[in-house]
């Protein structure tokens, strides 16, 4: 059954893992989808479909301070790489301030969170290994819109759990 939200076959070019490489232009999404999530735009750069589920990579451009709740992934490692702006990343008991060119790693099952803490626009790469259902998670999160802010504890807790994650606490304070 075809997903009603998917792009027509002609617009989505799927290559097998062992096939050709591909280009995803700056500020563009791999499949030309728009994911607007809590003050930012996420552009998929490498899909789970490109890697047989081994990883996925997002380029996140944020326009307001803040970030997701403290959470943990049961099956994914997460890597953060700052391109613009300043970010705070908490991994377990450690908190790091990241500047352009800095990165941090959050192993699976270790509570973590990140937040943009600088003024203006920030940009961060987010890598998930293996991909799991992160792409579907972000698609569903982007569809929630204002529901996120109306009852964030219930809505986000349920969504996180459906995708193998657990909300542990509040977003980072800075």
Query: Is the residue at 56 inside a domain?
Result: yes
Query: Is the residue at 141 inside a domain?
Result: yes
What's the number of domains the chain is made of?
1
Query: Is the residue at 45 inside a domain?
Result: yes
Q: What is the pTM of this model?
A: 0.86
CA distance 78 to 128: 5
Task: Report the percentage of the chain scoring pLDDT > 90.
Answer: 76
Tens of pLDDT, residues 92-147: 999 999 999 999 999 999 999 999 999 999 999 999 999 999 999 999 999 886 55
Query: Is the residue at 111 inside a domain?
Result: yes
Q: 152-162 and 134-144 are packed helices; what angle lies between their axes, rounded to 10 degrees?
A: 160
CA neighbor of 79 nearest in space, from 49, 54, 102: 102
Domain containing residue 138? 35-169
Total length of the chain:
174
Query: Is the residue at 100 inside a domain?
Result: yes
Query: Is the residue at 15 inside a domain?
Result: no
Secondary structure (3-state) at 127: strand
Report the CATH number that the domain containing residue 108 is assigned in CATH: 2.60.120.10
What average pLDDT score do residues 16-30 get?
85
Tens of pLDDT, residues 30-79: 999 989 987 789 999 999 999 999 999 999 999 999 999 999 999 999 99
Query: Cis link prior to 134 (omega < 30° from 0)?
Result: no
Question: Helix/strand/coil (H, E, C) string of 13-77?
Answer: CCCCCCCCCCCCCCCCCCCCCCEECCCEEEEEEECCCCCCCCCEEEEEEECCCECCEEEEECCCE
């Amino acid at each position: 059954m075809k997903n009603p939200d998917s792009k027509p076959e002609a617009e989505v070019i799927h290559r097998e893992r062992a096939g050709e490489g591909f280009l995803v232009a700056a500020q563009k999404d791999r499949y030309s989808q728009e994911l607007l999530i809590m003050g930012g735009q996420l552009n998929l750069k490498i899909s789970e479909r490109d890697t047989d589920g081994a990883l996925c990579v997002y380029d996140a451009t944020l326009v307001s301070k803040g970030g997701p709740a403290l959470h943990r992934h049961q099956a994914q490692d997460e890597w953060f790489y700052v391109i613009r702006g300043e970010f705070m990343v908490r991994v377990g008991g450690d908190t790091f301030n990241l500047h352009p060119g800095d990165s941090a790693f959050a192993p699976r099952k270790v509570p973590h969170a990140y937040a943009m803490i600088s003024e203006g626009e920030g940009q961060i790469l987010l890598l998930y290994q293996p991909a799991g259902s992160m792409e579907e998670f972000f698609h569903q999160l982007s569809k929630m819109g204002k529901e996120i802010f109306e009852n964030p504890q219930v809505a986000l807790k349920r969504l996180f759990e459906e995708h193998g994650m657990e909300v542990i606490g509040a977003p980072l304070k800075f």
